[in-house]
Amino acid sequence: MGPLVDAHSHIYPRTYLDLLRARTSIPRIASRDGTDYFVIFPEEEASGGGRPIDASYYELDEKLATLEPAGSAH
């Protein structure tokens, strides 16, 4: 058997995302050009960056689908 790697992946309930949208400081969700971005680091805030939010952030089936190609959804 090969090496075992322990990793994790987050899923965010919609109620939590709504709270992040209401925040004005990090961590927060910023909307630009119709896309939501998860902003958690000061350098992202300063540069207008962040991680684009898609359904894999809040839908379990979508999250599992993103993990499946790596064999991580088990």
Could you read off the pLDDT of 29-41 as tens digits, one per residue? 999 999 999 999 9
Domain regions of the chain by residue span: 14-68
At 64, is the pLDDT very low, low, confident or very high (cuts 50, 70, 90)? Answer: confident
Is the full-model pTM beyond 0.75? no
* HEC profile of 21-53: HHCCCCCEEEEECCEEEEECCHHHHHHCCCEEC
With a cut of 90, say whether residue 23 has pLDDT above it.
Answer: yes
Tokens in use for 74?
Answer: 């088990």
Tokens in use for 6?
Answer: 């322990």
SS3 state at 17: helix
SS3 state at 13: coil
